[in-house]
Amino acid sequence: MPRVMDRRPRVVLLAGPSTYRAGAFLQAAARLELDVVQAIDTPQELTSCRSLPLRLDFTEPETAVAAIVAAAADQPIDAVLSLDDSAALLAARASRALALRHNDPDAALAARDKWVMREALRRGGVPVPDYRRYPLTIDPEGVAGEVPFPVVVKPTRLSGSRGVIRADDGKTFIQAWRRAREIVLREGEDLETGELLVERYLPGVEVALEGLLTAGELQTLALFDKPDPLEGPFFEETIYVTPSRLPEETQQAIAKRTAEAAAALGLREGPVHAELRVNDEGVWLIEMAGRSIGGLCSTILEFGTGISLEELILRHAVRLPLPTTERAADAAGVMMIPIPKGGMLRDISGIKSARDVPGVTGIEITSLLNQPLTPLPEGASYLGFIFARAATPQEAEAALREANNRLNFRIEPTISLLPVR
């Protein structure tokens, strides 16, 4: 039942310092007249600074939970939400400490760690590709002799396809392993205790499902087609288009598999973002996150009379009445503009021409001039986002591609300043 309050509901938003998501949630909270506490992931040595919103070190969860509980003692807190993967487990622990509706921390971990996820899915009877984890210290040449190709090498904790590399034979596997290992080591993984996941490559059509869980019941909010083939060796996502063009029977099977996967992981409350593949063997869950869609992609989603995805999530979290979740009849799409090569971004041209493409509703360039760019599998960002609306998914997709074709990014090689010996 929606709760009735004699005060403004108060929500804590947990986010990393570089998240794209904070702005949309803050705007939605303002529309709903919610009190918001922004909790920013901050290194331990800076957490005592109070010049900005509540600073927490996400790597110290017990201390961070204690700080949130202390904040609730001053003013009641009605929900704790994670805006990205880095805080999902912390949000679950803090919600449990405050006796709020929440996902179990074990479920939050399963949605964060790919190995834990695969194990939970297998125990729950959800089909998973053959998989195995190996320590970072292992000799990849030995592993190459025992795995059936093609396979995908995956870091267990990184998101956004970082470090995910396909290998089709022993030679490319050794290269993929070494590259993925370097990526996770740079991210702070310990060489002696760190691991990588190796699993069978699944061909097929890939989709993304955006959903909302209430007491374990999944409501599908949007199903996105990904029209660009994601076959590797890297898996950089580009275009999302909704509604899906897949047959209705296939869409129902995707929703059913997503609900089964959420149950297997133990997720019961709040938003979920699932990546799935469909092939002749059926529907396979690739990833599931206990959060909403990343980047600025949610911009294209509107429900009822102009309700944003973030407003739906906030309403659900603080138990305000939910409006209809029916979307408008038109199609919508977003393109995450990929970084084609590493280097320094020196110039951007063609933006006005791209905005003039019929159906394009906006272009947001998020990369800054004179700043270095790093593509996948090492990188964690995009050049920007293109948004489109049209009568059909095909027209929305065509508008995104035409707009992207009109953009030009001048990227120059970086010059090393190290002395020559």
How far are the Cα atoms of 40, 93, 242, 251, 366 from residue 19, in angstroms, in the given order?
Answer: 10, 21, 24, 30, 12
What pLDDT shows up at residue 49? 39
- Average pLDDT over the chain reads 92
DSSP character string of 365-410: E-SPTT-EE--TTT----SEEEEEEESSHHHHHHHHHHHHHH-EEE
Q: Give this prediction's pTM.
A: 0.92
| Last residue in a domain, options 153, 171, 200 | 200
**Beta bridge pairs of residue 208:** 224, 275
Alpha-carbon torsion, ordered 177, 180, 186, 189, to 10 deg: -80
Assign 421 a pLDDT band (cuts: 50, 70, 90): very low
Whether 75 is covered by a domain: the verdict is yes
Q: Please report the sign of the dihedral spanned by the C-alpha atoms of residue 337, residue 340, residue 342, residue 347.
A: negative
Token duo for residue 1: 């039942």
Question: Do 213 and 189 belong together in one domain?
Answer: no
In a domain, 19, yes or no: yes
Domain count, the chain: 3
The answer to whether residues 80 and 139 belong to one domain is no
353-367 mean pLDDT:
97
- Looking at the fold, whether 101 and 220 belong to one and the same domain comes out as no
Residues 85, 48, single domain; the answer is yes
Query: Which CATH number characterizes residue 293's domain?
Result: 3.30.470.20
> Both 362 and 298 in a single domain?
yes
For residue 3, is it within any domain? no
> How far apart are the C-alpha atoms of 167 and 322, rounded to whole Å?
45
CATH number at residue 41: 3.40.50.20
pLDDT in tens, 159-176: 889 999 999 999 999 999
Q: What is the mean pLDDT of residues 8-15?
A: 94
For residue 144, the one-letter residue type is A
In terms of domains, do 404 and 296 share one? Answer: yes
Confidence of residue 3 (pLDDT cuts 50, 70, 90): low
Identify whether 120 is part of a domain: no
Domain's final residue, options 141, 175, 200: 200
Give pLDDT tens digits for 40-70: 887 554 344 343 468 888 889 999 999 999 9
Tokens at 67, concatenated: 């700080």
Identify the band that residue 16 occupies on the pLDDT scale cut at 50, 70 and 90: confident
* 388 and 289, same domain (yes or no): yes
| Same domain for 218 and 171 | no
Chain segment 225-238, per-residue pLDDT in tens: 999 999 999 999 99
pLDDT range class, residue 294, cuts 50, 70, 90: confident
The Cβ of residue 125 has, within 10 Å, a number of other Cβ atoms equal to: 9
- 418 domain residue, yes or no: no
Last residue of a domain, one of 159, 177, 200: 200
134 and 181 assigned to the same domain? yes
170 and 144 in contact (C-beta within 8 Å)?
A: yes
A 10 A CB-CB count for 250 gives 16
Q: What is the mean pLDDT of residues 150-154?
A: 98
- Contact partners, residue 4, CB within 8 Å, separation at least 6: none
Asked if 287 and 338 sit in the same domain, the reply is yes
pLDDT of residue 305: 77
Examine the domain organization and report whether 63 and 140 are in the same domain: no
Range(s) of the domain holding residue 249: 205-412
Of 46 and 380, more confident = 380
Model confidence band, residue 84 (pLDDT cutoffs 50, 70, 90): confident
